[in-house]
Structure formats: C-alpha cells, structure tokens
Structure 1
Amino acid sequence: MNAGKAVVEFMKREGTSKVFCVPGESYLPILDALYDESSIQLISNRHEGGAAFMAEGYAKASGKPGVVMATRGVGAANLSIGVHTAMQDSTPMIVLLGQVHSQFRGREGFQEVDLDQFFKPICKWAVEVQDAERIPELMQRAYRVAQSGRPGPVVLSFPEDVLREHQLMTFGHSYQPTRPKPSTDEIEMIKSCLSTAEKPIVIAGGGIKLSGAENAFEEFIDQYQIPVLSAFRRHDVLRNDHPSYVGHLGLGTHADIKDILKQADVVLAIGTRLSEVTTQDYSIISNEQKLIHIDISDDVIGKSFIPFLGVQSDAKVALEGLTSIDFQHTWSLWTKLCREVYEEVIFKPIQALDPINRHIIELLQKHLPGNSILTNDAGNFAGWLHSFYQFNDKNTYVGPTSGAMGYGVPAAVGAKLACPDKVVASLSGDGGFMMTMQEVETAVRYQIPVIHLVFNNEMYGTIRMHQEKHYPERVVGTNLGQVAFSEIAKHMGAQGCRVNDISSFESALLDALNHQGPTVIEIMTEPEHISVSSTIESLRQSRG
C-alpha cells in the first residue's frame, strides 16, 4: 500500500475514530485514504489552532490520544499552541504533519520548516519519516510514547513524496499500557510517614484522572479521611461534595484555603507535577513539611520540590497499594476543620448585588445535568467557575493548565464528540472567544450541539487586572472593541443571543439545553468587576 494508506490503516488498528485537521496538499495521500475509511471521522476545522485544541479536548474527555493533522510549516506553526497545551497538561496527542518534498529540503522550499527540531522543545518526541516502509514502526512508537509514562504529544512529519510511495507494510501489535507500582518498602515508608502525621493533606493531580483512578482515590480517601486539595484545573479528581474535599489550588484561590496547605505537616502529592500555579509560584510548600511525591514520571519527582520520599508509580496502582495498608489515624478533627473552612468560603449565600458572573455559575449548577462537561478558556471570568461550581461527577471538567487563550470553544466541541450523550458547555471571555470562535461553524457543519458562554467585558480582563495592580490608571493595549458575538453566531448557523441580566440568561440557558445545534450565549458583564475578589477601583486604591 502507499504510505498515506499505511498511516490510516495503523490509526484504524489502534481504534482511532476521530481525526482533526485543516487540509493541506502536502498530506493528500492521508486525506485520500481517509475517504475510504468509514471507521474514522475526519473533522475539518477552520484553523489549525482550533483543530489542535479540539483534538486535545477530545483526548481529555475520551481518554484516547487526540489526532490532529496540518500542512508544512504554516499549518504546523498554527497548531503549535495545542501541542504546548498537551505537553503541559500531560494529554496524549498524535500530530501528523505534511512536509515539503525530500528533494526540496534544505533549499528553503515552499513553507519549509525543520519540523522535528521546531517541535522538540514542546513535545515528548518528534521525528521526520524518511522511509515509507518504516511508517508502521514509527506510528506504533508514536502511539506508545504519547500514552506511556507521563502522557503527552508526539509529532511526525511526512515529506509529500514519501507519502506517495508504495511499500510492503508490516503491522505489529497494538500498544498495551504498563503500570509501574511502588515497592513494598515504599508503601511501608508512606505508611510510617502518615502514621505519625497530625495534619496531612493530599494534592490530587491529573495523573489520577489519566490512570482512571478516581474510584480508587475516593476509596483511599474514604478509608483514611485525609483532606484533599485538587491541583490547578483538576477539579473533578474527587467529587466536590465529598467531606474530605477542601478546595482547589489555582489562580485566585482564597487565602483561607491556601492556609490549609501551609498548616499541613505531611503533603501527599499524587499525579501532579506541582506546577507554578498549583504551588502559588512555588511558594506554598516548605522545607518543614514532609513531601511524599507519587508520579508515573521520574522526571517530575524532585523537579519543583525536593521530596522526603519520591515514588515512581502509576496513580491507580499506588492508591490500590495504599488502601491495603492498615493503621489508625488521628486527624478526623483536622479534616472536619478544613472542610468547614472550604464551605465557609464557597457556600456564602449569593447576594442580589453580586456580579452577574456569580449568578451565572449558580444557574449552571441548578440547570445542567450532573454529568455535564464544562470547558473553559483562559481569563479572569474562569475564577467564578473555579471558585463556586461544584464538580460532583468524574470526567466533567476539561481545562488548560497551560492557560492558553482560545481553548474553550474547540475543546468543548472535541469533548462533545468524545461524549455525545453528555451536555457540554464552554466558558470564554470575549478575548479568548474571538481567537477560535470560527470553530462554532465547525460545530454547525458537523451538527455538534455545544453551549458556548461568552463573558463580554470588552477587554483583556486578566492583563488589565495586572496592569491596574502594577501601573494603576495607565491602561494600554487591553481595551477591546464592541463585537456582537451573538449575531456572528447566527450568521455562522448557530443559535445566538445576548443577555444583560440573570432572568434573560436563565431563559437562554434552558432554550440552549433543548436546542439540537450549537448555541452562543453572549453575557454582557461589568468591566469594574475585574475578578472574583477585586474591582478596578479597589486595585487602584491598594496601590495608593
């Protein structure tokens, strides 16, 4: 078969059912092979960045590698933001790129970029395929690398002449994941450390989600009643109504919740790289605390903090081992106090004068089915979601730990393709929404019903907040123009509406839940309410 057909045949054997792309002439043999493959749906996007985000959101929601394709240097550069997001979010992704003809390499051919070198710093593995007969081998390695250890993106580039070659192709076995486990001695050391703890805390990360360990994690927490803080944008790692769940470590985390971690004497970090945001600029874990760091990647352990004990293990296997240990704990009162702090922060009665953003979250909680999936873009608007929405079902949150703008809309479409029976809604600011709003048309074209909320304050709110903190009243570059997003949505074939108050939003949300196609609800918000805890005026006064 030709090399393009071999790429598609391998994807079929691996169970790939969705591929995202912006088509390009450099990889036409792959596109042509997809024409004959009914088991794989090709989603043709409006922008490569949207395609990459869509594949990444699909991967998060489905647990399968997201596959995205683009052409040469221009398309590859456009989708690189999604590759970086997949790397920082530990999301398995296969990136297939067309490349210039082999004879044109090194001559600054049309759209030529040294793609494997371009992507190496932001992916797990990158390679240019120079021999057609090696495609099954290299594709197998790509799927293995993307899913093994700490998952992430891999990049393969194919010179267009290589894709046309006919060779005898030999396909091997599908990748079967391995699960490293802690040794008996390591389990005993963790037991010993926890046995002497007075105020332990768990930081629960995405590794728990990636290994499908949510049930094992809840069983472990039920048994030992240790307070749990979720890592940045891993809200659904434990149901938020669990008596041991005590908050989320992220942007704008309430000081009282951060203080819970500061008081802990033992910190058990599971499946988290202890990122800058989770650890509040690498400041919130101290040398006086005993850090037990469990992660599937030895590259992660010790990268941000020197652990008292570092254990390389799959999260699910480690949790199953920890559930089997038996000791008496003495911190029930500590856990109860931590939960009370969390409830005091989160469950304050909503006031009529609260910003509309706060009321929106209340109505989403009221009307969305419990297993709905929420995605969000980067921006201060997300602070209300992070602070007040209760994720009480697993696999219900898809968000970028990379903080990439433009993520929310395409990620929601990808998540809906992965979970067609779930309600999926995205939350975006007007800045991020406009970066990838063209993917609403993609959802219209493929009849993918997703609800998109746009919080419109006509500015880049997060940057404006930092601007006012450090350079009050010196506003530059952060004001945006007036855009009727709801009207643009209508012209793309979606349902669109603009709301200015709570009752209008509630009506629009209920209508969207009954609509069979995509809906864009544009929410006009007050610029003065710059974040959950601040107004522009309060920021200016704090500098005074």
Structure 2
Amino acid sequence: MSATVATQLVASLAQHGVRRVFGVPSESFTTLLDALYTAEDPEFVAARHEGGAAFMAEAHATASDRVGVVLGGRAVGAANLSIGVHTARENSTPLLVLVGQLDSRHRGREGFQETDVAAFLGPVAKHAVEESDPRRVPAAVDRALTLARTGRPGPVVLSLPEDVLDHSTSAPPAAPRTLTRPAPSPEDVTALRRLLLGSQRPVVIAGAGVKHSRAEDELVTFAEAWEVPVLAAWRRHDVFPNEHPRYAGHLQMGTHPALVETVREADLVVALGARLNEITTQGYTAPAEAQRIVQVDIEPGQLGKTYPVELGVHADAGCTLRAVGKPGEWRDPGWAEQRHATYRRVTTVEPAEHADRVDNRQIIRALRAELPADAVITNDAGNFAGWLHTFFRFPRARTYVGAASGAMGYALPAAIGAKLALPDRTVVSVSGDGGFLMTVQELETAVRLGAPIVSLVFNNNMYGSIRMHQERRYPGRVIGSGLGNPDLVELAHAFGAFGARVRADAEFPAVLRTALAACRPAVIEIVTDPAQISVWATIDQLREGTA
C-alpha cells in the first residue's frame, strides 16, 4: 500500500529509534501531526514554546544517545526554536529540525509567515535545506538523519512545504546507516606516542568528542597507564570521573587560577575531542600559543582552528585512545598526583550548616550528598552556575546535560527531555531566577507529562553575570540587571508542582528530600545573598577593585 510523505517520514524516524518528537502544534504540519497520531512510534510531545521544545529535544538526544527531533512551523516557529539549533551546534548534538513551510504554490508572493528557512537557520545549523519536490523528500529525510549523526554531530534543518506531506510515495522508510569512525593513521599514532613519551608534564583536555565516542572508560585507562591528569573542557563535567586520582578539574568561566596552572605548566597539551574554545582556554590564554599542542578531532576543520598545533590527528577519540595503547615503560605519577591534589584543595567544601543564611557552597555539597550517583544534572547559564561547576562532583559518565552555548532558559526544558529519556534516573535542573523565568511555562509541560524533575532556583533578583560585568567595568553604574520576581513557590503551586523556599542552607537537605519524594515536578527556591555576586567575589570587592 502506498504511503504518504508524512507517514514515510514518521516511519523513518521510528527506524532511527526516535521515541519522541517535540514541538508546538502548527497549521503548517497538521498532516505530519496526523501521521504521528496514527503511528505507535514516535510520540509527539507538545511544549509551550518552540524554544523550550528545541531544548527538550536536544537534551533528550544527549541523554538517550539518539537523534533528537523538534518540529516548528514557518517563520515564527523557526525563529523561536533557533536557540535550540544554536545550542545543538555548540553541543555537537544530533538534532533533526523539521520546519513546516507554507504551501509551495505561494512561495515568493508574500505568503503568510513566509521566510527562507534554510537561509535563516543555515548559519547556526550543520546543514539546512528546503525540499518542495515530494518525490525527493524521502531521500532528503534519509540524508538529514545521516548528516546529523556523522562526523561531528549537529543540527540539520529540513524545511517542508505543507502541500508535499500529503503526496503518495513508494519509498521505504529510511533505515539508519552504520557509522564509520575514522581511526588515526599509524604515523599519527607513532608521533603521538613519541610526544607523550618525551613529555614530563602532559595534560589531556577532554571534550565532547570523548562523550560522543562513548570513550569515557578508555580515557580512564589511558590516564592511568600514562599517568596523565585530565581536565574537563567547558561543560563536559562528566567526561571523566571527578573523584578519580587523575582528574584535575573543569575549565569554566572563572576557573580557579590553581587549576588553570595545570594547563600553563604542561609541556604537552592533548586536546582530545575538545575545540579549545574561548571559555575552555580562558580567553585563549591557557594554553599559550608557544606550548606544544596535540589536537585529536573527528572533524578535520577543527584541527588548528583556534591554536597552531604540533600534531593534528583527524580521528575519533575512542579509536585514538585504543590505538595509542599503553606506554610500555614506567611513568612518574608525581605530576598527575600533584594536579589532582590541587583540584581537591580548591574545590573541597567542608560540611557546615548556617541557620541564618545561604552559603551556596553548602547547597552544592548537600546536593551531591543527597543525590544518587547516577542522578542527572542540567543547568542554566549565569553566575549561580559557578558554584555548581566548581564544587559539584560528577562521579560517573552520562550524568550531566548542559549547554555549551551558555543559553539561559535551558535547564528546565532540558531536564524534561532528559527525564523522558531516562525515566528511572533522578533529574535535577539548576537555574538562576533570570534563566528559570525565561522558560518557566514548560513547568506545565512537566506536570502534564508527569515528569518528576526537581528544579533548584538560586534567586538573587538579578541577572547576576551581567551585574558582575557591569560592576567590574563600570562600578556602581547598574542598568537593566535588577529584576522583580513573582512568588516562585506560589507559581509552582499554580502549575500543580511542589514548591518550597529555602532561606538558610541548613534547611536545604530536608526540603530536597521532600521534593524528591513528592513524585511530581518540584521547584525549590533558594534565596541567595545578592552581594555574593560570584564564587570568588562580592559586589563591594568588584567596586573596590580587590577581586
């Protein structure tokens, strides 16, 4: 029996293991929605905003290790979900972005919500195309799903005019193709081993390439054999177990100077599936350009893109680690032990309880103590995240879902996407008040779906990171960063979620336990001191120039 383009597309998604399609319904793709209604798989998840839907799809893909799919309509829907496309590109997440376009007969005639979707989203996507010939849509779907997963994964945009979806097609569903992962050449392996054997203070900066290769265990074996400390690239916390004696810390905004010294003192920096972007390199200062750098990346265009490299290896991270093998000789563990000891010294929080105030360090310490080891953390952008990035320890792989793009509003919808992918795992989102209220409407989505996530909201009534930059550059001249917030506890109740407020860190463990036991979405507002603007500075210190 002949299928329609819409039913063939849905069957292709099912063949690729897609369990959910996220989006906001639109008249641009009612035919596709009807095909989803009929199919057993995938399920359509309606969000309250396309930006939230895109964040859910991106996080669902990360947590499930499959292609994420988000559906948006025409110009408005495409514009709203563009933040998720950018996030998927920065995170190297395989994401299929389906945009329902207006009827192809009306293109170029100022049709309702007409825009060139491929031209609009192309600059932030891995690939973007519009296909208006129904005979070519099945091939376009197959190519889009393949492109999203191959090489450096990323978002692929496929714009489909609404009139093509009803057309008949005899094309079979697109089956997933076997992915090939490039292995390093024998010459590259020999060169890399020579550089490692000749170094006294090597360091690995591990990035998304390790995670996408699922090579976390191989990295542990490598670090132990070669006695090399491992630093996590920006927002790749779980790439290496944080309690392991070869872990040396996370390169973030405001990294403690003692951890940055691990990079600056190294005589060989191995960027393993890491892009060496601005944040990871502390504004391109660590490493210095004069340092010896090896870069291993599955995308050849990344090699030497931000730094000149002594050796560029176009290869999959896991294949490279296995090919390099063990050193075959004794390696001095002193350097690696020293760097791990430094990490523990500057990131360990001694237990304390305050009945009169919130110390964010104690909140993070208690959060780690109360959660199971396999709990998944998602987080927003903002200065509040500095405490999480510095003091929370991720003991296992696949326990963090974050946005390397630094997008505000990510944490709550990402937690929903992660929870749907991993229903048996505890999922906690961590936000500031600014980011939380950007996508708070998705709390209704969590309640409707029965997704029992816990959202921590550090509330200082401001855009904290912006305030910090203002105080640093223009002390006392504050504009636009102060906020007025609703009662977040009552807001949670209005959505049908559990809500509680913490005014002292001594209260937090019991409140968290209650929220986890509530078996429904929960919001915990944590009232924080606005004066403590970052992990390492107060507003007064910034104004006085002492921080």
* TM-score above 0.5, yes or no: yes
Class of the TM-score when normalised by the shorter of the 2 chains: over 0.9
Rounded Cα–Cα distance in structure 2 between residues aligned with 1:368 and 1:172: 41
Alignment match, 2:168: 166
Cα distance in 1, alignment partners of residues 231 and 140 from structure 2: 40
Shift of 1:485: 1.4
1:84 and 1:279 map into 2 onto residues whose CA distance is 21
Q: Is residue 2:401 matched to residue 1:393?
A: no
Is 1:333 the counterpart of 2:349? The answer is no
- C-alpha change, 1:522 and 1:355, in structure 2 (3 Å) is closer
- What is the match of residue 285 of structure 1? 287
Contact 1:137 1:171 in 2 (8 A): no
Counterpart selection for 1:135 from 116, 134, 137: 137
Q: SS of the residue aligned with 2:69?
A: strand
Could you tell me the TM-score, scaled by structure 2's length?
0.97
CA distance in 2 between partners of 1:465 and 1:306 (Å): 33
**Which of 68, 73, 80 is residue 78 of structure 1 equivalent to?**
80
Which residue in 1 is equivalent to 2:528?
A: 525
RMSD: 1.3
- Contact between 2:433 and 2:457, CA under 8 Å: does it hold in 1? yes
Distance in 2 (CA, whole Å) between partners of 1:72 and 1:144 is: 24
Q: How is 1:30-41 mapped onto 2 (pairs within 5 angstroms)? A: 30-41=32-43
**CA 1:136/1:329 → structure 2, altered by over 3 Å: closer, same or farther?**
farther
Contact kept, 8 Å, 1:444 with 1:494, in 2: the verdict is yes
Please state how far the C-alpha of 1:347 moved relative to its aligned partner: 1.5
Which residues in structure 2 correspond to 1:284-323 (within 5 Å)?
A: 284-323=286-325
Q: Whole-Å Cα distance in 1 between the matches of residues 290 and 44 of structure 2? A: 53
Name the CA distance, whole Å, in 2 between partners of 1:211 and 1:330.
27
Q: CA deviation at 1:543?
A: 7.3
Contact 1:140 1:175 in 2 (8 A): no
In 2, Cα distance between the equivalents of 1:202 and 1:327? Answer: 19
State which of 40, 44, 47 in structure 1 corresponds to 2:46. Answer: 44
d(CA) in 2 for partners of 1:528, 1:426: 24
For the Cα contact (< 8 Å) 1:265–1:288, is it kept in 2? no
Q: Which runs of 5+ in 1 are unaligned?
A: none
Look up the match of 1:507: 510
Structure 2: gaps spanning 5 or more residues:
none
Structure 2 residue matching 1:436: 3-state secondary structure: coil
Q: For 1:161-206, what per-residue CA distance to the aligned partner results, in whole angstroms no more than 9, with x for missing partners?
A: 1112223224454221111000111111011111110111000111
Is 1:371 equivalent to 2:412 in the alignment?
A: no
Rounded Cα–Cα distance in structure 2 between residues aligned with 1:426 and 1:173: 34
Residue 517 of structure 1 aligns with an amino acid whose one-letter code is R
Q: Is the 8 A contact 1:469 1:543 kept in 2?
A: no
| Residue of structure 2 in register with 1:29 after alignment | 31
1:312-371 alpha-carbon deviations (Å, 9 max, x no partner): 111111111112x43325441111111111111011535556852111101111110000
Q: Does 1:536 align with 2:539?
A: yes
Query: Which whole-Å CA distance do the structure 1 matches of 2:454 and 2:478 have between them?
Result: 33
Among candidates 14, 17, 20, match of residue 18 of structure 1: 20
Could you say which residue in structure 2 is the equivalent of 1:466?
Answer: 469
State the SS of the aligned residue for 1:405. coil
Question: What's 2:92 paired with?
Answer: 90
SS state at 2:258 partner: helix
Output the amino acid matched with 1:231.
Answer: A
Q: Distance in 1 between matches of 2:308 and 2:360?
A: 40
Per-residue displacement from partner, 1:462-483 (whole Å, max 9, x unpaired)? 0000000000100100000032
Number of matched residues?
A: 543
Inter-CA distance 172–461: structure 2 relative to 1 (3 Å threshold): closer
Are the counterparts in 1 of residues 349 and 391 from structure 2 also a CA contact under 8 Å?
Answer: no
Paired residues for 1:178-327 under 5 Å: 178-323=180-325, 325-327=326-328
SS in 1 for 2:169: coil
In 2, the alpha carbon distance for the partners of 1:482 and 1:96 equals 35
- Name the CA shift for 1:298/1:69 in 2 (closer, same or farther; >3 Å): same
Q: Do the aligned residues in 1 keep the contact of 2:4 with 2:166 (CA within 8 Å)?
A: yes
More displaced 10-residue stretch of structure 1: 217-226 or 144-153: 217-226
Q: Does the 8 Å CA contact 2:227/2:336 hold for their aligned counterparts?
A: yes
The answer to whether 1:490 aligns with 2:529 is: no
Give the SS at the match of 1:435: coil
Whole-Å separation in 2 of the counterparts to 1:514 and 1:204: 36
SS in 1 for 2:199: coil
Name the residue aligned to 2:519: 516
Once the two structures are superposed, what CA deviation does each residue of 1:376-422 show, in whole Å capped at 9, x if it has no partner? 00001110011001100110011111000000000011011111110
> Which residue pairs with 1:120 in the alignment?
122
Q: Could you tell me whether the CA contact under 8 Å between 1:203 and 1:268 is conserved in 2?
A: yes
Give, in whole Å, the separation in 1 of the partners of 2:77 and 2:527.
34
1:267-289 CA distances to partner (integer Å, 9 max, x unpaired)?
01101111110001111112332
Partner AA of 2:136 in structure 1: R
Alpha-carbon distance in structure 2 between the residues aligned to 1:112 and 1:419: 38
Cα distance per residue 1:141-176 (max 9 Å; x no partner): 111110100000000011111112223224454221
CA distance in 2, matches of 1:137, 1:64: 20
Cα distance change, pair 38–175 in 1 and its aligned pair in 2 (3 A): same
Tell whether the 8 Å contact from 1:29 to 1:163 is kept in structure 2 after alignment. Answer: yes
Q: Is the 8 A contact 2:226 2:327 kept in 1?
A: no
Shift of 1:133: 2.1
* Cα deviation digits, residues 62-81 of structure 1 (max 9, x gap): 11111000100001100000
* 1:112-154 alpha-carbon deviations (Å, 9 max, x no partner): 1100010111011111111112222111111111010000000
Name the CA distance, whole Å, in 2 between partners of 1:171 and 1:342. Answer: 51
Give the match's secondary structure for 1:164: coil
Letter of the 1:59 counterpart: A
| Conserved 8 A contact 1:201-1:264 | yes
- CA offset digits 1:97-120 (Å, max 9, x no partner): 100111111112111110001011
TM-score when normalising by structure 1: 0.98
Contact 2:8–2:172, Cα closer than 8 Å, also in 1: no
CA distance in 2 between counterparts of 1:249 and 1:9 reads 42
